[in-house]
């Protein structure tokens, strides 16, 4: 049997949510080691102000390095939060950074993969912001600032964005159906995998004569979300770790065992 190809996105790893990092580390150890490849389609990190902000001995970076050294190919795409992940990060983890969008082969099928924010055209202000921060010249200037200044600016931008998106209609922050069809037509594919919207689902699509599907990966705030592609079945799953309940010998009541991250 072929090894599964795994797709995840939107972990938004951040020191303020250690349980998510813990879940990701378990996922790498328990699932990804046996995979044919692991694709992380953006927003692995809540924020990324430059590769020089990490030392390389962070547990999640070491775990990704171990995974790729053990022979599981690791592919990472930028999201709208961690679009500054660079070559030094790729070197540290053994990951290959993929352009957004990319076409890859999954068990013989051509599949379009993207973070997904470029398909969300309902918010012109965001479209303009995206074009600005993806400009190599803007990135070069930002990365040349001292680290503490980059951290300060990133916090400020995040606070502004949260204040603004809170006022937007949820429809505006979903993908534009016309953009989805256009992108799939342009790349000649029947299958699309993306994240970003945090609305996990499998949407069946009719593309001319052919049937296709759009797989939307969920975020990792409450539990993991993974698309597991076997040769014949592609399944969007929640990924969690079992919670063990142990009987207390004193009271006879059931109480939680060692805390399990969700
Ligand atoms: Mn995103």
CA 184, CA 207: separation in Å to the nearest integer?
9
Tell me the CA–centroid distance for residue 228 and ligand 1, in Å.
20
* pLDDT at residue 248, as a whole number: 63
* pLDDT at residue 249, as a whole number: 56
pLDDT band at 242 (very low <50, low <70, confident <90, very high): low
> What are the C-alpha distances in Å from 233 to residues 5, 105, 230, 242?
11, 15, 5, 24
Tell me the CA–centroid distance for residue 115 and ligand 1, in Å.
7
pLDDT band at 107 (very low <50, low <70, confident <90, very high): very high
In words, the CATH class of domain 5-259 is alpha beta
Query: Most distant CA pair in the chain: distance in Å?
Result: 66
Q: Minimal CA–CA distance to 38: which of 2, 79, 9?
A: 9
* pLDDT at residue 255, as a whole number: 47
Tell me the CA–centroid distance for residue 248 and ligand 1, in Å.
43
The residue-averaged pLDDT of 215-224 equals 95
The two three-digit tokens of residue 22, written as one number: 């813990």
* pLDDT at residue 142, as a whole number: 97
Q: Where does residue 254 fall: left (phi above 0), alpha (psi -120 to 50 degrees), or beta otherwise?
A: beta
* pLDDT at residue 76, as a whole number: 98
The residue-averaged pLDDT of 11-18 equals 95
* pLDDT at residue 168, as a whole number: 80
pLDDT band at 262 (very low <50, low <70, confident <90, very high): very low
Tell me the CA–centroid distance for residue 134 and ligand 1, in Å.
14
Q: Choose the weakest-confidence range: 81-95, 212-226, 239-253.
A: 239-253
pLDDT of 201 above 80? yes
Give me the residue spans of the domains in the chain.
Answer: 5-259
């Amino acid at each position: 049997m072929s090894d599964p190809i795994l797709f995840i996105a939107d972990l938004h790893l951040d020191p303020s949510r250690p349980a998510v990092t813990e879940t990701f580390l378990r996922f790498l150890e328990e699932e990804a080691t046996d995979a044919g490849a692991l694709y992380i389609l953006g927003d692995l990190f809540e924020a990324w102000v430059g590769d020089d902000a990490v030392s390389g001995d962070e547990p999640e970076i070491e775990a990704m390095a171990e995974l790729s050294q053990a022979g599981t190919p690791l592919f990472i795409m930028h999201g709208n939060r961690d679009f500054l992940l660079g070559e030094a990060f790729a070197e540290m983890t053994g990951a290959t950074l993929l352009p957004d969008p990319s076409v890859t082969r999954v068990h013989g099928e051509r599949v379009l993969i993207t973070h997904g924010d470029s398909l969300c055209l309902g918010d012109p202000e965001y479209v303009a912001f995206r074009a600005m921060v993806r400009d190599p010249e803007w990135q070069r200037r930002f990365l040349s600032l001292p680290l503490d200044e980059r951290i300060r600016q990133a916090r400020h931008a995040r606070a502004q964005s949260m204040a603004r998106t809170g006022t937007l209609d949820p429809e505006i922050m979903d993908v534009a159906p016309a953009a989805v069809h256009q992108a799939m037509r342009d790349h000649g594919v029947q299958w699309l995998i993306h994240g970003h919207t945090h609305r996990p689902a499998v949407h069946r699509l009719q593309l001319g004569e052919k049937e296709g599907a759009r797989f939307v990966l969920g975020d990792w705030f409450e539990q993991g979300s993974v698309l597991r592609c076997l040769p014949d079945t592609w399944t969007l799953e929640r990924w969690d770790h079992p919670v063990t309940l142990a009987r207390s010998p004193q009271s006879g009541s059931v109480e939680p065992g060692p805390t399990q991250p969700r």
